[in-house]
Amino acid sequence: ASPENLRPRPPVVTVMGHVDHGKTTLLDSLRGADVAAGEAGGITQHIGAFTVQLSNGESVTFLDTPGHAAFSAMRARGANITDIVVLVVAAEDGVMAQTREVIKLAQETNVPIIVALNKIDKPEADIENSKRELLQMGLNLEEYGGDVQVIPISALKGTNLDLLAESVSTQATLMGLQSEYVGPVEGVVVESQTHSKRGKLSTAIVTRGTLRKGSILVSGLAHAKVRALFDHNGQPVEEATPGTPVEILGWRELPMAGDLILEVESDRKASSVLRYRQAESQKMKAEENIE
Ligand code: GTP
Ligand code: NA
Ligand code: MG
């Protein structure tokens, strides 16, 4: 990458933690929405992606993930494009099974963690005990000379969300995140679905380049000519730049969550890439059958 093409981009912050510890509520508070209340059974079942403008004017892209044990693959996919993990821990429960899983995942992938110690408005909240448990998990907490910040918050009441936002933005600045805004587009599929009226749609995060209408994309065995782009509010947009989530309309096949997206220069090139990938995947299937 030639340095003159590199420009700052928003951090991608993935919110993770044990089921019901308050991830969606936190994101709702940060963007003034009410997603948690509308979820079936109060359980998040997909990765939601949107950009929040902090009060200091900086943009941060947040990914919501489900805490339910069944969604471990989804958390692992989320971790793929994550710059920073906000680990939500309910102070009444402390460290639980998915809390441990997230800490391991972040440590394995070398992604910095900021702990949002949530539900401190509850009388059962035990901040000191939660911190002890985090320490036992090998997190180097700041107050013990490490670099992991623990911010006590109430997602529900909005307590200390400014401190959390500040911590995220300080960490992002420290990382000096930059991407190329020109050249072939690359991205990652965050989620993907066939919509009854709109057809095949994917949510993606662009990681380099600028995605525009007419771009030809391949992802796994899927192929798209971009017909329309939408932001996280469903509003049509002309382009999507690095670090921002975008909905892509125009897939011929449905791409898979977690797969890379690459822009190619022509339909012809897309067809040849896909023919090659199909042949490879058939070869692999044939080999599996032999074994
Ligand atoms: P999953 O997506 O299912 O893993 O859950 P989640 O982590 O997104 O939790 P969610 O935001 O759905 O919150 C679970 C419950 O905790 C809801 O009833 C929230 O209202 C409640 N809750 C979340 N944050 C707080 C808080 O700060 N204080 C209190 N008292 N309740 C909270
Ligand atoms: Na929940
Ligand atoms: Mg949730």
Q: What is the pLDDT of residues 226-256, one digit of tens each?
A: 999 999 888 999 999 999 999 999 999 999 9
Q: Which residues neighbour ligand 3 (ion) by CB within 5 Å?
A: 23-24, 44
Q: Indicate whether 160 pLDDT > 60.
A: yes
The per-residue pLDDT for 2 is 65
Least confident span in 15-29, 76-90, 124-138: 76-90
Query: Is 80 exceeded by the pLDDT of residue 33?
Result: no
The answer to whether the CB of 246 is under 6 A from ligand 1 is no
The residue nearest atom 5 of ligand 1, judged by CA position, is: 20
Neighbours of 163 (CB within 10 A): 14
Give the tens place of pLDDT for each residue, 71-88. 888 788 777 789 999 999
pLDDT at position 1 is: 55
The percentage of the chain sitting over the pLDDT mark of 70, rounded to a whole number, equals 99
Q: Residue with the nearest Cα to atom 13 of ligand 1? A: 22
Segment 205-219 mean pLDDT: 97
Considering 35-49, 55-69, 267-281, the range whose residues carry the highest mean pLDDT is 267-281
* Alpha helices per DSSP H over the chain: 23-31, 72-80, 97-109, 127-136, 161-175, 267-290
- For a mutational test of ligand 1's pocket, the pick from 14, 15, 25, 122, i.e. the residue with the most ligand atoms closer than 8 A to its C-beta, is 25
3-state secondary structure of 284: helix
For residue 265, what pLDDT is reported? 96
Dump pLDDT digits (tens) for 161-183.
999 999 999 999 999 999 999 99
14 band by pLDDT with thresholds 50, 70 and 90: very high
Higher pLDDT, 7 or 47: 7
Residue 3 has pLDDT above 90, yes or no: no
Q: What pLDDT is recorded for position 118?
A: 98
Ligand 1 atom closest to the Cα of residue 88 is: 7
First to last CA, the chain: 43
Pocket test for ligand 1, best of 75, 156, 160, 164 (most atoms within 8 A of CB): 156
Q: How confident is the model at residue 54 (pLDDT cuts 50, 70, 90)?
A: confident
Ligand 1 atom with the shortest distance to the CA of 43: 3
pLDDT of residue 41: 84
Name the token pair of 230: 């939408």
Cβ–ligand 1 contact at 29 (below 6 Å): no
Mutate which of 18, 20, 29, 119 for ligand 1 pocket (most atoms within 8 A of beta carbon):
20
Does ligand 1 come within 6 angstroms of the Cβ of 269?
no
pLDDT at 35: 83
Distance from residue 57's CA to the centre of ligand 1 (Å): 27
H-run or E-run covering 248: strand 245-251
- 226 touches 249 (CB < 8 A): yes
Is the ipTM higher than 0.85? The answer is yes
pLDDT, the chain, mean: 93
Judge if the beta carbon of residue 119 lies within 6 A of ligand 1.
yes
pTM (global) more than 0.90:
yes
